Amino acid sequence: MLLPMRRLASSPSLPAIYPHISPARRSLGLRRQHGRGASARRTSATPVVCCLGSLPVASQSSQSTMTGANPVTVAGTERPSEWSGDAIRRRFLDFYAARGHKILPSSSLVPDDPTVFLTIAGMLQFKPIFLGKEPRRVPCATTSQKCIRTNDIENVGRTSRHQTFFEMLGNFSFGDYFKKDAIKWAWELTTKEYGLPPERLWISVFEDDDEAFSIWLNEVGVPKERIKRMGEDDNFWTSGATGPCGPCSEMYYDFHPERGSLNADLNDDSRFIEFYNLVFMQYNKNDDGSLEPLKQKNIDTGMGLERMARILQNVPNNYETDLIFPIMEKAASMALVSYGKADDAMRTNLKVIGDHMRAVVYLISDGVIPSNIGRGYVVRRLIRRVVRTGRLIGMRGDGHENSEGAFLPSLAETVISLSSEIDPDVESRRKSILGELLREELRFVQTLGRGEKLLDELLDEALGSAGGDKPCLSGKDVFLLYDTYGFPIEITAEIASERDVTIDMKGFDIEMENQRKQSQAAHNVIKLSVGNETEIVKSIPDTEFLGYESLFATAVVKALLINGNPVENVSEGTDVEILLDRTPFYAESGGQVGDNGFLYVYGEEGGKQNAVIQIKDVQKSLGNIFVHKGTIKQGSVEVGKKIDAAVDGKLRQGAKAHHTATHLLQSALKSVIGSETSQAGSLVAFDRLRFDFSFHRPLTEKELLEIESLVNQWISDATHLETNVMALQDAKNAGATAMFGEKYGEQVRVVEVPGVSMELCGGTHVSNTAEIRGFKIISEQGIASGVRRIEAVAGDAFVEYVCSRDNYMRHLCSSLKVKAEDVNSRVETILEELRTARNEASSLHSKIAVLKAASLASKAVLVEPHNVRILVENMGDVDADALKSAAEHLVGTLQDPAAVILGSSPGDGKVSLVAAFSPGVVKLGVQAGKFVGGIAKLCGGGGGGKPNFAQAGGRKPENLPDALEKARAEIVAVVSSKAS
């Protein structure tokens, strides 16, 4: 469920009345402590605690923060302090399992749903069931779902409850129970299982939901004054403009019951925290905004684990729970600071580090590699925030006596140590996670160095363009440094202040707000829709797939669609989508493309052929219904007709060879470059395969040859493949590898090449590796930071590739008049001859340019008061290297001080510019790099260089004369104005 992310940082922090978790409790995982000895010492600032409403409440006169740990009491009884995050999670799942709910695992942070960027709610994996596009596998379920939200990233660490990574505990009903049971169980769980005092719990309901109000009031017994009716913005959940929706009811914990119920505001973060949200999905919103009741009413809930841990562990914010605090504690020790003694700014920085480290570890574990696009950019941005924040508070080195090392891996070790109950797969991916963080941090440290250089240049520009005004760094520039180069605003402001430059914080805030809005709009929405597709799926069962055993089948046309709309018949020449009751056609999934082939419609009793439909693609839609996309080539077809379906056997064989080769390739990669590499995507086509994998560097030629050799050895071994269907957990226990992006049910298909590969895969494969015939890597390249791609061919495509390359080689041998084994040496000889000829030509061009320039020296003008000789000329079509030689010759020929500015148009729409200033001109404060860069802009380009020599280019040669005239006027003006 989507817990509303409102009531933001403008609210004051919660009064510091809660004890921090002591080191002893942290090291023991919050096991029960006895007594109040050394492990639970108080400072002199400890507030007086009395029992009010069963939980400890500080006297109102005290605002200090406790540093010890005390047992929490409920109804006068000491509460055991075993309320670790793991215990809270287990208690939730067990509670609902005992009430008929199936405990299901958390889905990946990379959702199957292409409309959602990252998994942001527990309900996401059940979206197809809520829409009626997939049948329910169980009547009700419960999960602890890993979630990522980045729309409120700037509030992380600043408020008590905003995080990028969190766990959402949820219970879900798919047409089973509804409002009454959901409310009663939520109350029972909260008050009896977790033992929260009923008098501290407040409820919100949708303003028109009298049914929910009545259940809370009359059946649960919550006093009327603690049930608040709230509007649509707060308590009505919608998935979008249309689709399933319904009222919701939220549970709040009251930290200050002594304030009474009069004028209580549930949006007051200093008093209340919402921890459980119950959505009653009972309507469908139509295009006109009207609501109609759903035939199947569903329950979708979400309890924030970190929020409940905060309450039960009696700490002032989500960060100081045992779910996050050990990471913060590790960061503090590496920065040589104490969290207990730190000021607010330091604590905020440690909270940012603790939160973001959880997010990046789990994202990388789920296959998201840092990059500059998509989900990879989210990981990169979070990593850079941790690095720059850590460096800001003094973190250096890896925590193991290596001051030059990266500190992220050490922090990640702590995150991984806490992961066993959240996601046990994280531990098995430890090496890959740590390696990725190490590389990314070291890469970013270099980026920070480039940012420092850019900041110096921006400050120079601000000082140079200020005129009589106070120099100021623009908001856009500050944001560029912050977002692209990872510069903390504080560092930018400090460095700027040292040079007497202010920064435009208002402009920076505008840029930040624009990015926040874009991020929120793009990443915090789950889209559901109900339309014609839902009506179709109600009457059509899943397609029976026969393609593992046969390429031919007789089937019945169950539906015809044109542009997504159902029709009864389709005539010749029309593009159509056809739904059959059974099919031999493979539908695109797991990276493998859909089959091609034909459908044939015959007359009564096998008479004359009435229609031919060419199938060009097959996709899965509406759950497990196969959509055959094609064109009516002859005749017409109508719903209810029997057809003969025939898959193109040659193309299917190509897909089978490439799919099995992909499995062999993955095993070979792990064998050659290490098991830490993981799949990041794949394409299995009829004529080639593409395999994306996580790795930090290009593969060497030797490694590629070794991979090829391994795959071809396994092909020549002629090993029979084994295919079995088994329970998902049994497959995992057997060591089967999951294919990237594939969604699995409780029963899975396991494809094994004995001794080589075992993967969960629904694709089609050869029966024996010898059918692949051969394997050849065509290319290996990087497609994103930390992600490589191999393209290869197998089967018939392998034979065609080898034959075509042999043909090219024979033509090359004929042209060069050498044998194949002598081609390399002959080509090297030709290239060397070409390089020599080019060098000679370049030398001649430079000599000609110098001779031409010598004749121009007499055109230099003398400018007072410093008697600077200035020469600005157009050199025609001279290339850039020759132009440089000419300028160097002239500035050396003319008596110091001298300034030479030359331009040329070497062809192809190019402009070359060069500026050469003698030492005397540079001493006047005139720099060639800055000067030539400004002139180049007139020619549609740019450039720069050293104070005494610089080059630039452009794409507008027609502007060169005007640019040189401007250069002449500006250089004369600037040297004339310089005081002696």
Please give the annotated binding residues for Zn(2+), written as ranges: 659, 663, 761, 765
From the number of C-beta atoms within 10 Å of its C-beta (0-12, 13-18, 19+), residue 844 rates as: exposed
**259 Cβ contact list (under 8 Å, min separation 6):** 271
Cα atoms found within 13 Å of the Cα of residue 869, Cβ hemisphere only: 18
Distance CA(598)–CA(616), nearest Å, equals 9
The β-bridge partners of 632 are 613
Annotated binding residues, as ranges?
659, 663, 761, 765
The CA dihedral of 492, 498, 499, 505, to the nearest 10 degrees, is 40
From the number of C-beta atoms within 10 Å of its C-beta (0-12, 13-18, 19+), residue 681 rates as: middle
Pairing of strands 201-206, 227-230: parallel
From the number of C-beta atoms within 10 Å of its C-beta (0-12, 13-18, 19+), residue 704 rates as: middle
Distance CA(111)–CA(119), nearest Å, equals 6
From the number of C-beta atoms within 10 Å of its C-beta (0-12, 13-18, 19+), residue 455 rates as: buried
- Contact between residue 379 and residue 370 where contact means Cβ atoms under 8 Å apart: yes
Q: What is the 3-state secondary structure (H, E, C) of 76-112?
A: CEEECCCCCHHHHHHHHHHHHHCCCCEECCCCCCCCC
Q: What is the 3-state secondary structure (H, E, C) of 372-386?
A: CCHHHHHHHHHHHHH
Separation in Å, CA 969 to CA 934, 950, 972: 13, 19, 5
Distance CA(241)–CA(145), nearest Å, equals 26
Task: From 146, 113, 173, 130, select the one nearest 301 (Cα to Cα).
Answer: 173
From the number of C-beta atoms within 10 Å of its C-beta (0-12, 13-18, 19+), residue 352 rates as: buried
For residue 865, whether the previous peptide bond is cis, meaning omega lies within 30 degrees of 0, is yes
The CA dihedral of 471, 477, 482, 483, to the nearest 10 degrees, is 170
- Contact between residue 670 and residue 359 where contact means Cβ atoms under 8 Å apart: no
Which residue shows structure tokens 């330091």?
346
436 — phi, psi (to 5°)?
-65, -40
Distance CA(601)–CA(300), nearest Å, equals 46
The β-bridge partners of 638 are 569
Distance CA(602)–CA(608), nearest Å, equals 6
Task: From 362, 356, 359, 373, select the one nearest 786 (Cα to Cα).
Answer: 373
Give the amino acid at 586: Y
Beta strands in 563-634 (DSSP E): 565-567, 569-571, 575-580, 582-583, 597-602, 609-621, 625-634
Residue 747 token pair: 């029963």
